[in-house]
């Protein structure tokens, strides 16, 4: 499989801020890489470097085999970027926006109209094609944004937080759209602060924090790296939560998380046999579990284990 996006040792500084601090990436053609990180992690900076909008201070990146610094025009002709903030013209209709973009890319008028019609239908926007964009819902607008980025038929698509601010239904629609693009052979680099979004869409995930890659792998590999599973214990008597936490800590050798509202203790587990140990120790202590089991770790827990702080808190 050919590599569509390749970066090694990317560094980008803004004054005293090091936004990218030696980032390596490798994205096989036709796959989705999810770049996951909290506010200020360096996600947009990485996208802007890979889109030739910023010059790296060190390291290199190639997109479709072209160096972003030495051959920016060749890179630009193969990519499209949907930014964190919508880029379509509010006062124009969906059709007018897409026709205008196609004309800017040099399409003859008839072809521009045909391309606009095709894209609007593909993104389920035909019914609102003639309305001005300011009357669109957030989900419609985001879909038009995606449609706009496809006018030039890119090989590589950068989506910077494509679903931030959308309601669950619109997020689902955008996810379906992204899956459709990849099925058509487009390579996607998607940034997100949503752990479930990366889990849902990405073939592989790069977790970045403060400009550095702190983990890479498939969603499953990431989960395996920090304990594939999570043990959960809820004592019938909430007053014994701390005793449960101490038992779980001594078996898993990890400081467990305590959910006081649900009186639940959770910790990452590397060996399934640890569950039996916990059961035995609870029994010895005369603690009756109301709930006890193993489940797959969520990416939230992965992030917490990798960074030592919750994803939400880093902002
Ligand atoms: N043009 C700029 N000038 C100065 N500092 C910048 C500039 N762009 C980004 N930064 C800084 O670089 C760091 C990384 O920013 P970046 O926008 O890449 O983060 P992000 O991961 O996209 O965050 P968010 O999730 O909030 O979009 C931040 O500390 C930010 O303040
Ligand atoms: Mg950003």
What is the fold, at CATH topology level, of the domain defined by 227-296?
A: Alpha-Beta Plaits (3.30.70)
Distance, in Å, from the CA atom of 101 to the CA atom of 78, rounded to the nearest integer, reads: 16
CA of 88 to the centre of ligand 2 (A): 18
Q: Which residues, in sequence order, are bridge partners of residue 306?
A: none
Give mean pLDDT, residues 288-296.
90
And the tokens for 56?
Answer: 């790296």
Per cent of the chain over pLDDT 90 is 62
Q: Is the pLDDT of residue 315 over 60?
A: no
Question: In whole numbers, what is the pLDDT of the chain averaged over residues?
Answer: 90
The pLDDT of residue 150 is: 87
Question: Residue 84 and residue 160: Cα distance in Å, rounded?
Answer: 5
**Dist. CA 36 → ligand 2 center (Å):** 11
Q: Where does the pLDDT of residue 139 fall: very low under 50, low under 70, confident under 90, or very high at 90 and above?
A: confident
If one residue of 13, 41, 57 were mutated to test the ligand 1 pocket, choosing by the most ligand atoms within 8 A of its CB, it would be: 41
pLDDT at 312: 57
| Structural tokens at position 299 | 């990416």
Task: Please name the residues in contact with 71: beta carbons below 8 A apart, sequence gap of 6 or more.
Answer: none
Q: Which of 231, 241, 193, 201 is nearest to 218 (CA)?
A: 201
Question: Does residue 100 have a pLDDT over 80?
Answer: yes
Closest CA to 129 of 93, 99, 97, 91: 93
Give the confidence band of 314 by pLDDT, cuts at 50, 70, 90: very low
How far apart are the two ends of the chain, measured CA to CA in Å? 37
Is the model's pLDDT at 7 over the cut of 50?
Answer: yes
What is the pLDDT at residue 195?
80
Measured between alpha carbons, how far is residue 31 from residues 156, 184, 196 in Å?
A: 10, 11, 18
Which residue, by CA, sits nearest to atom 2 of ligand 1? 14
Those residues with Cβ within 8 angstroms of residue 22's Cβ, 6 or more apart along the chain or in another chain? 9, 10, 11, 58, 59, 211, 212
Question: Which of 28-42, 78-92, 198-212, 272-286 is the least confident region?
Answer: 78-92
Pocket lined around ligand 1, Cβ cut-off 6 Å: 14, 17, 19, 37, 39-45, 84, 193
| Residues 204-225 pLDDT 10s | 999 999 999 999 999 888 877 7
DSSP conformational letter for 288 = P
Token duo for residue 74: 């060749």
Mean pLDDT, rounded, for 49-61: 96
Tell me what percent of the residues of the chain surpass a pLDDT of 70: 96
pLDDT at 93: 96
Of residues 30 and 306, the one with the higher pLDDT is 30
Domain limits, the chain: 3-223, 227-296
The CATH superfamily assigned to 3-223 is: P-loop containing nucleotide triphosphate hydrolases (3.40.50.300)
The CA distance from 218 to 14, in Å, is 31
Residue nearest ligand 1's atom 24 by CA: 39
Q: What is the mean pLDDT of residues 285-311?
A: 81
Residues 125, 175: contact at Cβ < 8 Å? Answer: no
Candidate from 12, 23, 39, 45 with most ligand 1 atoms within 8 A of CB, to mutate? 45
Q: Which whole number is the average pLDDT over 12-30?
A: 96
The bound ligand whose nearest atom lies closest to the alpha carbon of 160 is 2
In the predicted model, is pLDDT for residue 313 greater than 70? no
DSSP 159: E
Q: Quick one: tokens of 263? A: 């009186």
- What percentage of the chain's residues is helix, strand, coil (to nearest 5)? 40, 30, 30
Residue labelled with tokens 């972003």:
68
What is the whole-number distance in angstroms between the Cα of residue 104 and the centre of ligand 1?
30
């Amino acid at each position: 499989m050919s590599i569509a996006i390749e970066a090694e040792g990317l560094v980008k500084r803004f004054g005293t801020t090091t936004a990218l601090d030696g980032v390596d990436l490798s994205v096989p053609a036709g796959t989705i890489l999810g770049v996951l990180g909290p506010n200020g992690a360096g996600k947009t900076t990485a996208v802007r470097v890979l889109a030739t909008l910023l010059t790296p201070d060190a390291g290199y990146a190639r997109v479709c085999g072209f160096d972003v610094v030495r051959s920016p025009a060749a890179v630009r002709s193969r990519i499209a970027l949907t930014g964190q903030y919508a880029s379509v013209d509010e006062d124009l209709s969906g059709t007018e926006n897409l026709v205008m973009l196609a004309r800017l890319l040099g399409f003859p008028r008839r072809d521009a109209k045909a391309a606009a019609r095709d894209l609007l239908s593909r993104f389920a926007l035909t019914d609102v094609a003639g309305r001005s964009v300011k009357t669109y819902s957030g989900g419609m607008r985001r879909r038009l944004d995606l449609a706009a980025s496809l006018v030039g038929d890119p090989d590589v698509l950068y989506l910077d937080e494509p679903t931030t601010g959308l309601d669950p239904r619109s997020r689902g629609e955008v996810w379906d759209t992204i899956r459709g693009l990849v099925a058509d052979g487009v390579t996607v680099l998607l940034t997100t602060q949503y752990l479930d979004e990366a889990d849902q869409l990405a073939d592989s995930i790069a977790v970045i924090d403060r400009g550095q890659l702190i983990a890479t792998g498939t969603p499953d590999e990431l989960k395996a790296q920090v304990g594939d599973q999570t043990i959960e214990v809820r004592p019938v008597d909430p007053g014994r939560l701390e005793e449960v936490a101490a038992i779980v800590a001594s078996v898993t050798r990890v400081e467990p998380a305590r959910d006081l509202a649900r009186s639940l203790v959770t910790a990452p587990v590397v060996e399934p046999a640890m569950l039996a140990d916990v059961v035995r120790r609870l029994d010895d202590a005369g603690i009756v579990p109301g709930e006890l089991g193993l489940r797959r770790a969520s990416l939230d827990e992965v992030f917490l284990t990798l960074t030592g702080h919750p994803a939400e808190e880093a902002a």
